[in-house]
Structure 1
Amino acid sequence: MTMSSHLQELRRKHENLSHDVEAAQRSPSTDDLVVAELKKQKLRLKEEINRLSAQ
Protein backbone atom coordinates (compact mmCIF):
# COMPACT_ATOMS: atom_id res chain seq x y z
CA MET A 1 0.00 0.00 0.00
CA THR A 2 1.44 3.35 -1.00
CA MET A 3 1.50 6.29 1.37
CA SER A 4 -1.08 8.20 -0.68
CA SER A 5 -3.49 5.27 -0.75
CA HIS A 6 -3.01 4.79 2.99
CA LEU A 7 -3.79 8.47 3.60
CA GLN A 8 -6.82 8.23 1.32
CA GLU A 9 -8.09 5.25 3.33
CA LEU A 10 -7.57 7.11 6.62
CA ARG A 11 -9.46 10.11 5.26
CA ARG A 12 -12.31 7.84 4.16
CA LYS A 13 -12.49 6.31 7.64
CA HIS A 14 -12.43 9.79 9.18
CA GLU A 15 -15.33 10.88 6.95
CA ASN A 16 -17.31 7.75 7.86
CA LEU A 17 -16.76 8.45 11.55
CA SER A 18 -18.00 12.01 11.00
CA HIS A 19 -21.25 10.62 9.64
CA ASP A 20 -21.48 8.12 12.50
CA VAL A 21 -21.00 10.89 15.09
CA GLU A 22 -23.67 13.04 13.45
CA ALA A 23 -26.12 10.15 13.33
CA ALA A 24 -25.41 9.22 16.95
CA GLN A 25 -25.92 12.80 18.11
CA ARG A 26 -29.28 12.97 16.31
CA SER A 27 -30.49 9.78 17.95
CA PRO A 28 -31.88 10.42 21.45
CA SER A 29 -31.26 6.82 22.49
CA THR A 30 -27.50 6.97 21.84
CA ASP A 31 -25.36 6.91 24.95
CA ASP A 32 -23.07 9.93 25.40
CA LEU A 33 -20.15 7.55 26.00
CA VAL A 34 -20.65 6.07 22.54
CA VAL A 35 -20.53 9.55 20.99
CA ALA A 36 -17.41 10.38 23.01
CA GLU A 37 -15.67 7.20 21.87
CA LEU A 38 -16.52 7.90 18.23
CA LYS A 39 -15.11 11.40 18.59
CA LYS A 40 -11.90 10.01 20.14
CA GLN A 41 -11.50 7.60 17.24
CA LYS A 42 -12.07 10.44 14.80
CA LEU A 43 -9.45 12.59 16.55
CA ARG A 44 -6.89 9.76 16.53
CA LEU A 45 -7.43 9.33 12.79
CA LYS A 46 -7.05 13.07 12.20
CA GLU A 47 -3.81 13.14 14.20
CA GLU A 48 -2.49 10.17 12.22
CA ILE A 49 -3.45 11.83 8.92
CA ASN A 50 -1.69 15.04 9.97
CA ARG A 51 1.40 13.14 11.14
CA LEU A 52 1.70 11.20 7.89
CA SER A 53 0.96 14.25 5.75
CA ALA A 54 3.80 16.16 7.38
CA GLN A 55 6.38 13.58 6.35
Structure 2
Amino acid sequence: MNIQDSIEAIEQQIYVACSDGDYDKVTVLEHKLEHLRSLSGKDLSELLYGEDAPNYFSDDF
Protein backbone atom coordinates (compact mmCIF):
# COMPACT_ATOMS: atom_id res chain seq x y z
CA MET A 1 0.00 0.00 0.00
CA ASN A 2 1.50 3.33 -1.03
CA ILE A 3 1.06 6.68 0.71
CA GLN A 4 -1.82 7.74 -1.55
CA ASP A 5 -3.70 4.51 -0.77
CA SER A 6 -3.12 5.10 2.94
CA ILE A 7 -4.39 8.69 2.64
CA GLU A 8 -7.56 7.49 0.93
CA ALA A 9 -8.10 4.79 3.56
CA ILE A 10 -7.74 7.29 6.40
CA GLU A 11 -10.11 9.72 4.68
CA GLN A 12 -12.69 6.91 4.56
CA GLN A 13 -12.09 6.11 8.23
CA ILE A 14 -12.60 9.79 9.10
CA TYR A 15 -15.93 9.75 7.26
CA VAL A 16 -17.08 6.67 9.18
CA ALA A 17 -15.88 7.99 12.54
CA CYS A 18 -17.62 11.31 11.92
CA SER A 19 -20.83 9.51 10.97
CA ASP A 20 -20.59 7.50 14.19
CA GLY A 21 -20.01 10.66 16.24
CA ASP A 22 -16.57 9.45 17.39
CA TYR A 23 -14.86 12.84 17.29
CA ASP A 24 -11.88 11.71 19.37
CA LYS A 25 -11.10 9.14 16.68
CA VAL A 26 -11.60 11.81 13.99
CA THR A 27 -8.97 13.98 15.69
CA VAL A 28 -6.46 11.11 15.84
CA LEU A 29 -7.10 10.20 12.21
CA GLU A 30 -6.74 13.82 11.08
CA HIS A 31 -3.29 13.95 12.69
CA LYS A 32 -2.30 10.75 10.88
CA LEU A 33 -3.65 12.19 7.63
CA GLU A 34 -1.62 15.39 7.97
CA HIS A 35 1.50 13.33 8.68
CA LEU A 36 0.99 11.18 5.58
CA ARG A 37 0.34 14.26 3.46
CA SER A 38 3.60 15.76 4.65
CA LEU A 39 5.39 12.53 3.71
CA SER A 40 3.84 12.59 0.25
CA GLY A 41 5.72 15.81 -0.51
CA LYS A 42 2.67 17.52 -1.94
CA ASP A 43 1.28 20.79 -0.70
CA LEU A 44 -2.38 21.36 0.06
CA SER A 45 -3.31 22.83 -3.32
CA GLU A 46 -1.88 19.81 -5.15
CA LEU A 47 -3.81 17.43 -2.92
CA LEU A 48 -7.07 19.33 -3.39
CA TYR A 49 -6.88 20.33 -7.03
CA GLY A 50 -4.14 18.29 -8.70
CA GLU A 51 -0.64 19.16 -9.80
CA ASP A 52 -1.70 21.48 -12.65
CA ALA A 53 -3.87 23.73 -10.49
CA PRO A 54 -2.65 27.20 -9.56
CA ASN A 55 -1.04 27.33 -6.14
CA TYR A 56 -3.03 29.94 -4.25
CA PHE A 57 -0.96 29.31 -1.14
CA SER A 58 2.32 30.43 -2.67
CA ASP A 59 3.74 33.95 -2.53
CA ASP A 60 4.30 33.92 -6.31
CA PHE A 61 0.60 34.03 -7.12
TM-score, normalised by the number of residues in structure 2: 0.62
User: CA separation in 2, counterparts of 1:14 and 1:37?
Assistant: 14
Count the aligned residue pairs: 42
Runs of 4+ in 1 over 6 A off after TM superposition: none
User: CA separation in 2, counterparts of 1:24 and 1:35?
Assistant: 6
Q: Give 1:50 deviation, angstroms.
A: 1.3
Structure with higher RCO (Cα < 8 A, 6+ apart): 1
Q: In the alignment, does 2:41 pair up with 1:47?
A: no
- Which segments of 5 or more consecutive residues in structure 2 lack a partner in the other structure? 43-61
- Which segments of 5 or more consecutive residues in structure 1 lack a partner in the other structure? 1-7
Identical aligned residues as a percent: 12
User: CA separation in 2, counterparts of 1:14 and 1:44?
Assistant: 10
Q: CA RMSD in A?
A: 1.6
Q: Give 1:47 deviation, angstroms.
A: 0.5
**Equivalent residue letter for 1:45:** L
**Aligned equivalent of 2:15:** 22
Q: Which has the higher helix share?
A: 1
